[in-house]
Structure formats: structure tokens, C-alpha cells
Structure 1
């Protein structure tokens, strides 16, 4: 069990660090990404997350405990991610900056965004760690999707810090560090989820609630905001269909 929890921790850490750092690296190297491509990618991630949530996380939560413990976990997941979202914003601002704004203001924005991302990554890591207790494939899939979710967040922080005058090397360090708490969260999720069936039920419900908040508050709106034509809905629906097919193959 200890070895498995350590494996979960490493994968969660890679998901967080690579997700935010790749967003930072992309800004450093290319500055911009085609909005249409990002729309499809975010929509696809949202669709797969929806499929995993309703076909794996929530049913498994009910099976391990009860409908009551599953609902408590879901509410906790929604509530904690929602609280952090309202009190520690981490991505909801424009990528277009006015050159007349003082660099120090943009520097502060970038650093605050990095802190916000880090705080969000802890409970999101718990969701990943708990998902691994359903099965390894679901955990890995969720880790990859969370890395994709963190990509535009890393871009947002890196863009602000770049305008604020921070060196590229430091931008990469800061965006990478913002992903570290996801590894810590994955460790806690894997550890606590293995304590008892009730704890696992609550943890899986928590993961489901957290995923639903992320999907409908961030991924779906961001996908539509960047959409060209029907790119958002194409990405979302294809993600759901492929997610269902993937889960069906696992069983």
C-alpha cells in the first residue's frame, strides 16, 4: 500500500508541475496559442471528466459507502473548490494587457495567480489521489486531464509575470512550484482514502464534486470563450463519448 501511495504521489506531482510549468514554458517560447485549438482541448477534457465523474467516481462512492456519504463528499468537493475560487482567484482575468499599466501591478498579479493556483492544486490533488483507489487507469486519466486543466492557468500566471519583468528562468520556476501542492494532495487522497470504506466513499464523492465544479465553472466556459464556430461543443461531446468508451473498455 505504501508503494502504491508513493506512486500516486509522484504521478500527482508530475501532473501539477508539468501542467503549470508547460503553460509557463509555452508563454516563454511562443507567447500565444491558437484559441481554436485550446477551445477543443479544454472542451474535450471537460467531456472526459464528466464521463469519469458520473460513470466511475460517484457510482463507486455510493458502492463503497452509501448515497448519503457520497452526497456529503460531493458537497464538500464543490464547497471547498468553490470557496477557494471565490477567495483566491487563479485564472479569471484577461490575457490582454495594457502597456501603460505599471509593471509592478502585473508582477503582483502573476505572483498572486501562482499562489491561487497552488492553493487550488491541493484539493485537486486529493481528487486525483482518491481516483487512483478506483483503479490505476482512471487515476492516470484524471491526472492527465488535470495537467491539461493547469496548462492555461500556468499561461495566465506566466503572462502576467512576463509583463511584470520577471526573467524567463524565474517564471518557469514559479509556475512549476505552483504545481507542487497537487503532489501533496495526491498523497493525502491516496492515504486517507485507504483508511476505511466510509473514508473512501467520502473521498470519491469529494473528487466527483471537485471535478464537477472545475468542469462547469472553468473548462466549459473557457472552452466556449475561446471557441470558433462549434469547436467548444465538438470538444465537449467528443470527450464525453470517448470517455464513456474508455471506461467501458476498462470494465
Structure 2
């Protein structure tokens, strides 16, 4: 039980510190329409890389085509349901984008926690390296959430708090992964595709249009391509 507690704490630290660093970086970013447009594009490009080369391929490998499609459909369905009910809560499109994005990142972090927790039990030599890799790639995810919040003038303290909270599911996943040792591939597949579906919808419906609305130039498009390249560098 003590070992499981340590593994769970490691998952929480990996999740919250990684996304929290992303939030901290956003605090020091210069605010201008051109810069914010570029950063939103950068966020979209990075998210697209995660979806196309990480979430959906892993979902397909673990659960096959039909469970992947099911997860994508459930993710998009949830986003549409949430959108229909939060328009009256958030007048700003950027606050709405952040709320929806937080859901998708949190769902994405849960299966990562499962993998981390299982690695401590079955592949202990891999666990420290996997922890560092997860922490590093959580940084741009925290930045992705923080940029729309920053645009909407959320205070730095709240911005840091929100970005750190989305890392908690990593700890929950680590606890479950360590507790059961092995988890259902089908469920992990659906979770990964669910996160992929929500992110894909957000990219198309929120991130790209909002980036273009801040600056009509090429900044957001260049940022989008660079974000995709950043994903390649971090994952390969």
C-alpha cells in the first residue's frame, strides 16, 4: 500500500508540475494580438500532432478501429453537449475554449497515468525515464490551456491553479494502474480516442478561428506549423 501511495504521488507531481510550468511560462509572455494569434496557432499545431501521432494511433493499436471511432464520437458528443450548456456561463469564446480544452487534456492525462503506474510494477527501469518524458510533454499542454485564459485576463494566480489542476488525473490514473497492474486495453483505447476527438473538435471549431480573429496575417499559420514541429521534437 505504501508503494502504491508513492507511485500515486509521483503521478500527481508529474501531471501538476508539468502543466503548471506551462502555465507559469504563459505569465511572462508578451500580450499583443500578433503574439497571441501566433501562440494560439502554436497550441493548435501541437494539439494536432498529439491527436494524429499519439492519441489516435495508440487507441487504434490497443482497441482497434471500432473502439477508436466510438471514443472519438463520444468525445465530440460530449463537447457538443457541453457547448450547448456553457454558452450562458461563459460570454467569452476564449473562456469556453479553455473549459473544453481542460476537459480534453484531463481525459488525455488519465491513460498516461495508467501507463505510468503500470510501468513502476512491470517495467521499473522504464518508470523514471517515462516520468521525465511525461512531465516535459505536459508543459506545452499547460501552455495550451493557459493562453486562452491569459487572453481573457485571468489573474496569474488563478491561471497557475487551473493549469495545475488538469494534471491531477495523471495521479488518479497512476493509482489505478499501480493497483490493478494491468488495465483493460479496450477502456484505455476509448479514453485515448475520447481525448483525441475532443481535441480535434476544439482545434477546428475554436483554436484556429480564434487565432485568425486576433490577427489576420500569417502568424497563426506559421505558429500552427511550428507547433506541429515542436510535437515531433518532443515525442521522437
Structures share a fold, TM > 0.5?
yes
Please state whether the residue corresponding to 1:195 is helix, strand or coil: coil
- Taking structure 1 as reference, are residues 51 and 84 closer, same or farther at Cα in structure 2, changes over 3 Å only? same
Q: How many residues align?
A: 214
Which residue is 2:92 aligned to?
A: 93
Once the two structures are superposed, the pairs formed by residues 54-69 of structure 1 within 5 Å of their partners are: 54-69=52-67
| CA distance, structure 2, for counterparts of residue 150 and residue 141 of structure 1 | 15
| CA distance, structure 2, for counterparts of residue 202 and residue 41 of structure 1 | 30
- Give the one of 13, 16, 35 matched to 2:16: 13
| CA distance, structure 2, for counterparts of residue 156 and residue 217 of structure 1 | 18
Once the two structures are superposed, the pairs formed by residues 31-70 of structure 1 within 5 Å of their partners are: 33-70=31-68
Please state whether the residue corresponding to 1:69 is helix, strand or coil: helix
Please state whether the residue corresponding to 2:183 is helix, strand or coil: coil
Which residue is 1:183 aligned to?
A: 167
1:202 aligns with 2:190: yes
Q: Deviations over 1:122-147 (max 9, x none)?
A: 55312123246396577445522321
- Kindly state the Cα deviation for residue 120 of structure 1 after the two structures are TM-superposed: 5.9
Is contact 1:65-1:197 (8 Å) kept?
A: yes
Segment of structure 1 superposing worse, 200-209 or 79-88: 79-88
Which residue is 2:215 aligned to?
A: 227
| CA distance, structure 2, for counterparts of residue 172 and residue 131 of structure 1 | 27
| CA distance, structure 2, for counterparts of residue 143 and residue 91 of structure 1 | 26
Is contact 2:63-2:186 (8 Å) kept?
A: yes
TM-score (norm. length: structure 1):
0.67
- Taking structure 1 as reference, are residues 241 and 18 closer, same or farther at Cα in structure 2, changes over 3 Å only? closer
Which residue is 1:147 aligned to?
A: 142
Unaligned runs of 5+ in 1: 96-112, 160-170
Is contact 2:101-2:199 (8 Å) kept?
A: no
Unaligned runs of 5+ in 2: 117-129
Please state whether the residue corresponding to 2:166 is helix, strand or coil: helix
- Give the one of 105, 110, 114 matched to 1:129: 110
Please state whether the residue corresponding to 1:229 is helix, strand or coil: coil
- Taking structure 1 as reference, are residues 76 and 14 closer, same or farther at Cα in structure 2, changes over 3 Å only? farther
| CA distance, structure 1, for counterparts of residue 196 and residue 202 of structure 2 | 10
| CA distance, structure 1, for counterparts of residue 79 and residue 176 of structure 2 | 19
- Kindly state the Cα deviation for residue 209 of structure 1 after the two structures are TM-superposed: 1.3
